[in-house]
Structure 1
Amino acid sequence: MQISGLYSLFKQFPVVVTDTRKAVPNSIFFALKGANFNGNQFAKSALEKGCKYAVVDEEEYAANDSYILVDDVLRALQNLAREHRRSLGIPILAITGTNGKTTTKELVNTVLSKKYKTFATQGNFNNHIGVPLTLLSMNEETQFGVVEMGANHPGEIKLLCEIAEPNFGIITNVGKAHLEGFGSFEGVKKTKKELYDYLQEKGIVFVNGENDHLMSMLNDQEIYSYGNADGADSKAKFLQAAPYLVLELRSPKIGKLYIKTKLIGGYNFENALAAVSVGRYFDIQQSDIKVALENYEPSNNRSQLKKTENNVLFLDAYNANPTSMGVAVNNFADLPMKNKLVILGDMLELGEDSEKEHQQLIDLLQQKKLDKVYLVGDIFTKVNTVDRFKTFVKTEQLAAILEKEVLRNHYILIKGSRGIQLEKLVDKL
């Protein structure tokens, strides 16, 4: 079936599912394939659960007119999403970066929603499947789309741009992450730059003018800069993060404006400033920007301050790489409180640099005189030689100890890659 015909059906039945467990009446099931499954085999089940159509790419499964046969289901999903994006004709802001892209996406969305009916990427649906599903979840009421784009291999941001066709873009930063896929830090920069390349003649880039890496990646293109330097199009000043981030805006009309967020860590200043800058560019009142950022509460184990019965947790256990881990440790070390404990999990997907990067983090912990440290994972266990730093291969091993030896009156930083599952420790603390 041609994409025009598929889109015509989608207009009649505008709900897409890729999992039979989420099948709803009058939806369209896309039989995607994975390393260990073939969605075509579940197409019949999807129809039995109420889906109107099932899109398949193996002729043997196309039993009747309820099945739509295409050459490649994934490509059909992506092409359908692009067709829908073009039909809506709304502005799309794409956000990528090594760290902070999800938080920046949430902050930008909450600011833009003060003026527009927005739709933003849900959770971290930011890959070659998630981006199409995000676009297909927008409807005629949507006035502005905010699309997060993730990547762990070269060419992926380019592909996502060709699907979403953004008008605006932000790269939050570039750092060491997914080095197995990118090969090097230069590989990270080249891949993230694909967003700038796409927007070179098609849109506007919001960029931190004080980030030398980002500025060097720009083409000859239209930008809107933010930072604290005099030449920035949008300026704000970092005041403190002890522990919550506070920043200052200045305006000729209202003078100084203080924004007291619920975000922990000075490293979130750039994320908040990006959202402020987008709001200013789109003429959102600064008082509304203030309300939006102050009311935003982080969730999903990202930049959360969580007070338990016994301790105060600085919970940032959704993801980790050398860049984000370093700024988190530095920020925590500089906080003016005593009785600190650091719990760090392995940083995954670092390839041949893995042991070196973990050793550098151990060196940083020593340099910052953070003496009470628990390290979790195979890599930390292998490289750690500091006697006072306790290591555990599995999170469950540390959880068992914490259940027996209850900690009280500690300030605890918890950070590691999602695969280490450090969030399992929260109810033990």
Structure 2
Amino acid sequence: MSVLLKDIIASIQADINFDTVSETINTISIDSRSSQNNEKTLFFALVGPNHDAHIYIEELINKGIRYFVVNHVPQELESKANFLLVEDTLKALQDFASYYRSLFHFPVIGITGSNGKTIVKEWLNFLLAPDYNVIRSPKSYNSQVGVPLSVIGINEHHNFGIFEAGISTVGEMSHLQQIIKPTIGILTNIGSAHDEGFDNISQKIKEKLRLFTEVEVLILNKNKTIEAFLNKNIKTFTWSTQDRNADVFFQKNTYEDYSELNITYNQLCFKVNIPFTDEASLENVMHCVLTLLYLKYSQETIQERIAELYPVEMRLKVKNGSNNCTLIDDSYSSDFQSLKIALDFLENQNQHKKRALILSDIFQSGLSDEELYSRVSQLIISHKINRVFCIGETVSKFKNKFLNAVSFQTTEDFIKAFEDLNFANETILIKGSRQFEFENIVSLLEEKTHETVLEINLNAISHNLNYFKSKLNPKTKLMVMVKAFGYGSGSYEIAKLLAHHKVDYLGVAFADEGIELCKAGIELPIMVMNPEMTSFQSIIQYGLEPEIYSFRGLKAFLKIAEEKKLENYPIHIKINTGMNRLGFDTEMLPELVEILSHSKRVTIKSILSHLASSDVPEHKDFTLQQITDFDNDSTYLMKGLNINPIRHICNTSGISNYPGAQFDMVRLGIGLYGVSNESHEQSKLEHVGTLKSVISQIRTIEIGESVSYVRRFIATRKTKVATIPIGYADGISRLWGSGVGYVLVNNKKAPILGSICMDMLMVDVTDINCFEGGEVIIFGKDPSVNDIAKATNTIPYEILTSISARVKRVFYRE
């Protein structure tokens, strides 16, 4: 994009603190981490209930950004940058996007619904790409922020748009309608997602339909409930599998690994085959078929292209690669907008100094090849990519624009040369269009491990962090616990994300956990909560900060500090207020003051204690007494030593239940990972981890036959049994077996049969359409870790931390 600054100022009705407005802006940014920020960037400092991007402005000024949209000018920065002052920075971003959208005139599809939006968008992009230069929402950019950023990606060469719109409450869709201004509408369905934002289903339907107030046609499943809310002036184009009065009627036949759709439209009758059997995919295909029919595509073209549809991967994934590599898998799409997003994601991976990019031809940019690959070259330079592997006829022609580039005409050529390319100790972004089958490259590069994976949603981590931050007083500091391998989720990726969110401290249980984070480049202060005295030397070597909870530990640390001639080394003093686990008791404090007052080798960075029952209402009096005792004991130490350290006692439940006990800092633990002991709070958190596996084998057993050890399950009917390669060695409790628990197969509950084995478990899939190699959900939204914990008489902490290290962790952003 290239827009005059004066036009932006007018579109958002901003007051400015500078005179010159003849500048042009070529980048809109809301991400302080992006290496694409430059002197031509306009940064919108967005403010939400749990975040405020104004805190990054000084950092961005130091990086060379000159223009900012703000709702207030930070103190002492008035003269250091150019500020566009508005009441609401999000509204300003949306207003600019609406203005920018008005500069272009071509067909635009707007998609909304409870499910399927992103898949329908991606499939339509695939289906229409041979005939149009399509601009579409990257990934699932469908929110109040994502939609403006998507529309701002339009350039003068695009001639078709596909944008999705997602809402969570009343009043949001009108903003998105003004930005997208769709000419063709698609309503995928109305389901239960985000129900909490609406009083009833009627309110939700009305809100979603606001996207279509100006469309020339609305494509939807024929439904009397929806039609009752439709404006009669809106032309509809409907489909159904039940109602022959629909404009297009579908009959479906489902087989083991594909489905056949018989389509009747006016006088036209024809069939299409698709490689899907689940109901959701079939519905999504039907919306795509109607769109092609509306756009007057021939029967032959529809049959040919629909048959080539494919599963859509909607997120970037971080995976462990062989030879100590880290992989960023974005191997199913290659367009300029998603390349920018993927490179920004790469920017946040600091495990390795070396960075490589494997890139296919880029399609549908709307730009000439020369301009496109010149821009790609600029991106690669700004992101400090060390080497580039170009795969494809077109990108190979421009390899000289990239530093240290090697080209291959096909993916097969790359694979043949793979052994000589020496991938090791680097971060590799794999970015390719689906037709290049880069999944084969990912398979070559990926560390060969268990088929079972624990997927960690980094967006959910950010959401949960910001939720708890919103509960804190403005001056309360925040420590986040990343011990026990990040509660089973993986420490480094989470620590890196927390550093971006500017938390004040990280907490680990043992020194080796902190050392690994330091080695990986984490620079936040790290407190070791349970340091062994044998680790004190290493703690000092890596600049970690130990919790001291006993005279024995204190004297041992002071001895080492004396030997090393340390001065004011930070330590943390633990007081026992009733947990009776670790810490100095009240009667020990005079001696503690005596020892510390005669030592200059250490400085007391914080005083802390731990709440034993902050999540149990019946123990409220006990907890309040703990808080009082902590206040008294910590005050005694502060006066006796004449110090003013950070004080902290609240854990996750304490943050929610005892807001008056925040003191100077709180410690967030299990809540970050989407688990709360409070039912009202659980609904406001997002689940972080989804444990997935696959079906290894399916067999059918007869009545009287048994499954697994000790024959705890004996069939009372002919039973189809699926074996899943995960067991108690992976952290799945045997108490969850023998009919107590279940997994999800094709979104249906499959009860666990008999005993869970060390490396496998078996489930009943008699009434479920599934196949070998198919995906299985062990836990996630359903069953949740709370569900499993309740059924096995334990706590969610144990479920999460029990997932063994042999289960591969995959991190992703939506």
TM over 0.5: yes
Paired residues, number: 366
Match of 1:106 among 122, 140, 147: 122
- Structure 2 CA distance, aligned partners of 1:150 and 1:168? 16
Deviations 1:95-153 (A, max 9, x none): 11111111112112222323221111111111111111111011111112111111111
Report the equivalent of 1:120.
Answer: 136
- Stretches of structure 2 that go unaligned for 5 or more consecutive residues are 13-20, 317-331, 333-438, 461-682, 684-694, 701-719, 726-741, 754-762, 766-776
Report the equivalent of 1:19.
Answer: 31
Report the equivalent of 1:93.
Answer: 109
SS in 2 for 1:399: coil
Report the equivalent of 2:788.
Answer: 381
> Does the C-alpha gap of structure 1 residues 226 and 214 become closer, same or farther in structure 2, counting only changes over 3 Å?
same
Match of 2:235 among 217, 222, 227: 222
Report the equivalent of 2:314.
Answer: 300
- Structure 1 CA distance, aligned partners of 2:791 and 2:304? 45
Q: Aligned ranges for residues 68-87 of structure 1 at < 5 Å?
A: 68-87=84-103
Match of 2:165 among 149, 168, 171: 149
Say if 2:721 is the partner of 1:339. Answer: yes
- Structure 2 CA distance, aligned partners of 1:10 and 1:298? 43
Q: Offset at 1:365?
A: 3.4
Q: Offset at 1:285?
A: 3.8
Q: Conserved in 2, the CA contact under 8 Å of 1:250 and 1:256?
A: yes
Q: Offset at 1:311?
A: 6.6
Structure 2 letter corresponding to 1:279: L
SS in 1 for 2:285: helix
Structure 2 letter corresponding to 1:233: D
- Percent identity (aligned): 23
Say if 2:269 is the partner of 1:271. Answer: no
> Does the C-alpha gap of structure 1 residues 88 and 282 become closer, same or farther in structure 2, counting only changes over 3 Å?
same
- Structure 1 CA distance, aligned partners of 2:6 and 2:88? 12
Match of 2:55 among 41, 57, 69: 41
Report the equivalent of 1:59.
Answer: 73
Report the equivalent of 1:347.
Answer: none
Q: Conserved in 2, the CA contact under 8 Å of 1:94 and 1:168?
A: yes
- Structure 1 CA distance, aligned partners of 2:751 and 2:230? 35
Quick check: which one's helix share is greater? Answer: 1
Match of 2:803 among 399, 414, 419: 399
Q: Offset at 1:74?
A: 1.4
Identify the range of structure 1 (89-98 vs 272-281) with the bigger mean alpha-carbon deviation: 89-98
- Structure 1 CA distance, aligned partners of 2:279 and 2:11? 45
- Structure 1 CA distance, aligned partners of 2:788 and 2:109? 41
| TM norm structure 2 | 0.39
Identify the range of structure 1 (43-52 vs 119-128) with the bigger mean alpha-carbon deviation: 43-52
Deviations 1:27-64 (A, max 9, x none): 22111123343322323433443445222221344435
Q: Offset at 1:425?
A: 8.1
- Structure 1 CA distance, aligned partners of 2:142 and 2:289? 23
Q: Offset at 1:173?
A: 0.7
- Structure 1 CA distance, aligned partners of 2:55 and 2:41? 18
Q: Conserved in 2, the CA contact under 8 Å of 1:114 and 1:288?
A: no
Match of 1:365 among 743, 749, 756: 749
SS in 2 for 1:271: helix
Higher relative contact order (CA 8 A, sep 6+): 1
- Structure 2 CA distance, aligned partners of 1:341 and 1:186? 43
Q: Conserved in 2, the CA contact under 8 Å of 1:374 and 1:392?
A: no
Q: Aligned ranges for residues 254-293 of structure 1 at < 5 Å?
A: 256-261=270-275, 263=276, 265-293=278-306
Q: Aligned ranges for residues 306-345 of structure 1 at < 5 Å?
A: 338-340=720-722
Structure 2 letter corresponding to 1:239: N
Deviations 1:243-265 (A, max 9, x none): 3444344689997342333x452
> Does the C-alpha gap of structure 1 residues 424 and 97 become closer, same or farther in structure 2, counting only changes over 3 Å?
farther
> Does the C-alpha gap of structure 1 residues 232 and 40 become closer, same or farther in structure 2, counting only changes over 3 Å?
same
> Does the C-alpha gap of structure 1 residues 342 and 207 become closer, same or farther in structure 2, counting only changes over 3 Å?
farther
- Structure 2 CA distance, aligned partners of 1:116 and 1:234? 25
Q: Offset at 1:184?
A: 3.6
Identify the range of structure 1 (46-55 vs 78-87) with the bigger mean alpha-carbon deviation: 46-55
> Does the C-alpha gap of structure 1 residues 300 and 63 become closer, same or farther in structure 2, counting only changes over 3 Å?
same
Identify the range of structure 1 (140-149 vs 109-118) with the bigger mean alpha-carbon deviation: 109-118
Structure index of larger Rg: 2
Q: Conserved in 2, the CA contact under 8 Å of 1:208 and 1:214?
A: no
- Structure 2 CA distance, aligned partners of 1:156 and 1:177? 15
> Does the C-alpha gap of structure 1 residues 39 and 235 become closer, same or farther in structure 2, counting only changes over 3 Å?
same
Say if 2:209 is the partner of 1:193. Answer: yes
Structure 2 letter corresponding to 1:54: F
Q: Conserved in 2, the CA contact under 8 Å of 1:3 and 1:79?
A: no
- Structure 2 CA distance, aligned partners of 1:259 and 1:136? 37
Q: Offset at 1:87?
A: 0.9
Report the equivalent of 1:177.
Answer: 193
> Does the C-alpha gap of structure 1 residues 310 and 379 become closer, same or farther in structure 2, counting only changes over 3 Å?
closer
- Structure 1 CA distance, aligned partners of 2:79 and 2:260? 60
Q: Conserved in 1, the CA contact under 8 Å of 2:108 and 2:162?
A: yes
Report the equivalent of 1:206.
Answer: 219
- Structure 1 CA distance, aligned partners of 2:247 and 2:268? 18
| TM norm structure 1 | 0.69
Structure 2 letter corresponding to 1:151: I
Q: Conserved in 2, the CA contact under 8 Å of 1:32 and 1:40?
A: yes
> Does the C-alpha gap of structure 1 residues 109 and 299 become closer, same or farther in structure 2, counting only changes over 3 Å?
same
> Does the C-alpha gap of structure 1 residues 152 and 37 become closer, same or farther in structure 2, counting only changes over 3 Å?
closer
Structure 2 letter corresponding to 1:243: D
- Structure 2 CA distance, aligned partners of 1:77 and 1:84? 10
> Does the C-alpha gap of structure 1 residues 134 and 368 become closer, same or farther in structure 2, counting only changes over 3 Å?
same
Structure 2 letter corresponding to 1:231: N
